[in-house]
Structure 1
Amino acid sequence: MKIEINATKRGVKGTGASRRLRHAGIVPGILYGGGKEPVSLDLEHKSLFLQFRHEAFHASILTLNLEGGKESVLLRDYQMHPVRNTIQHIDFQRVNENEKIHVKVPFHFANAEVSPGVKLNGGIVAHIMTEANISCLPKDLPEFIEVDLAALDIGQSVHLSQIKVAEGVEFVQLSHGNDAAVASVAKPRAVVEEVVAKPVEGAADAAAPAADGAKPAEGAAPADEAKSDKAK
């Protein structure tokens, strides 16, 4: 998926200027890297946000159209408004096609519904990681990495070393000896049913009034005396 974004160079800098730009529907940004001087940018929020909401925008080589020139860039950072869900600032890094890049790429999980753990044993898939940091040349950068869960049974996990990636792509964690688990299938939590207590044998007899002739409790008046007192 090829994504192009348009920007202009920004001459006015500072917090006050950035605030005025945001009120006018403009996103302040910066372009840096590639052995060149950083450039302050202005980007129109509406058109930028239409691209920003796509997953590929966050893990692809983007084409930045900057006043008649084109640059290959990566999204490196951004800040969002905590309430309005608008982009407050955005950072892009120039890309050198001959240098490896480190990028976080999302996982797409497939075939969970046919795995033995889910289909036969009613297990639940837990996504331990949703993305991973990879290293590759820009031309080899994938938009996402597929994780096949078809063979997982209850209690089993799939690790980074078991995931197939294209030639030239490697997981940064694996290169540091960390073969992290990406997803697993676990037993669902047992549903606890309400248990109705059954009466204990003999409990009804114990709760019944004392039979005629039974010895009254210590300090209690005999039954005949109690009736006599009522008659008075």
Structure 2
Amino acid sequence: MSLVLNSVTRNEEGKGASRRLRKQGLVPAVVYGGSANPVSVTFKNNEVAKAVENAAFLTGVVTISIDGTEESVIVKSLQRHPASGEVMHIDLQRVEADKKIVTRVPLEFINAAKSEGVKSQGGRLQVEAKLAEVRCLPKDLPASLIVDTINGQLGEIFHLSDAQLPEGVELVALLKGEDHNQPIARIGKAKR
């Protein structure tokens, strides 16, 4: 992602301080991980709102500037207001180019409408998982994992192992053994 989010360090912490910051149009955040100490920062609300519109902000490596010093991070947690949907707090984890990271990426199901199970057998794709946990170097982090359902038949179940993995990317669940190859989608009967 080419966008650089600017932030300023903050000294005040706690609920009251965070509430005051939000009233000033700022979003409190914490940057942690790597070899440096955790840092509490604030972002401008309008910049965060614009960044969150891009899915790559939530699932990719992002560059932030803390008081002028750039760092690469991934979004680990993002809290939103339950009614307005505004971002209220962000947890960011530093990434280092030579160390593998573990994060979740979206699963993208393609060609369901062209599959025999949907097209001629009257089924429809029922997605059971939208994210998969991967482990890779930051440079190898994919925007999404593709699951091609073109050969799907009615009643067929797609598992994590059906996702197409780019080079250097591993599925965390499959590292634990074959019995962790959970179902992520199926072609089931369409409800009438």
SS in 2 for 1:155: coil
CA distance in structure 1 between the partners assigned to 2:189 and 2:16 by the alignment:
55
Pair 1:94 & 2:87 matched: no
The residue number in structure 2 matching 1:63 is 63
**Deviation of the 1:132 alpha carbon:** 0.3
Q: How does 1:116-131 map to 2 (within 5 A)?
A: 116-131=116-131
Within the candidate set 176, 180, 183, 1:181 is matched to 183
**Deviation of the 1:53 alpha carbon:** 2.6
**Deviation of the 1:126 alpha carbon:** 0.5
What's the C-alpha RMSD, in Å, of the aligned pairs?
1.2
Structure 1, residues 144-188: CA drift from partner, whole Å, max 9, x if none?
111101000101122122222111101111111211112110122
The residue number in structure 1 matching 2:144 is 144
Which structure is richer in relative contact order (CA contacts within 8 A, separation 6 or more)? 2
Count of residues in Structure 1 that have an aligned counterpart in Structure 2? 190
**Deviation of the 1:135 alpha carbon:** 0.5
The residue number in structure 1 matching 2:153 is 153
The residue number in structure 1 matching 2:18 is 18
SS in 2 for 1:143: coil
CA distance in structure 2 between the partners assigned to 1:53 and 1:26 by the alignment:
17
CA distance in structure 1 between the partners assigned to 2:117 and 2:65 by the alignment:
49
CA distance in structure 2 between the partners assigned to 1:27 and 1:145 by the alignment:
30
CA distance in structure 2 between the partners assigned to 1:161 and 1:22 by the alignment:
43
The residue number in structure 1 matching 2:45 is 45
Give the TM-score taking structure 1 as reference length. 0.79
CA distance in structure 1 between the partners assigned to 2:68 and 2:170 by the alignment:
35
CA distance in structure 1 between the partners assigned to 2:95 and 2:101 by the alignment:
8
Q: Which has the larger radius of gyration?
A: 1
SS in 2 for 1:48: helix
Mean Cα deviation higher: 146-155 or 157-166: 157-166
- Unaligned runs of at least 5 residues, structure 2: none
Percent identity among equivalent residues?
A: 38
The residue number in structure 2 matching 1:209 is none
Mean Cα deviation higher: 113-122 or 76-85: 76-85
**Deviation of the 1:42 alpha carbon:** 0.9
**Deviation of the 1:26 alpha carbon:** 0.5
Pair 1:8 & 2:8 matched: yes
The residue number in structure 2 matching 1:165 is 165
CA distance in structure 1 between the partners assigned to 2:124 and 2:7 by the alignment:
45
AA matched with 2:137: L
CA distance in structure 1 between the partners assigned to 2:112 and 2:31 by the alignment:
41
**Deviation of the 1:35 alpha carbon:** 1.6
- Unaligned runs of at least 5 residues, structure 1: 192-232
Structure 1, residues 67-89: CA drift from partner, whole Å, max 9, x if none?
22100001111211111211111
CA distance in structure 1 between the partners assigned to 2:181 and 2:15 by the alignment:
44
Which one has the bigger strand percentage? Answer: 2
AA matched with 1:7: S
Give every structure 1 segment of 4 or more consecutive aligned residues whose post-TM-superposition deviation is greater than 4 Å. Answer: none
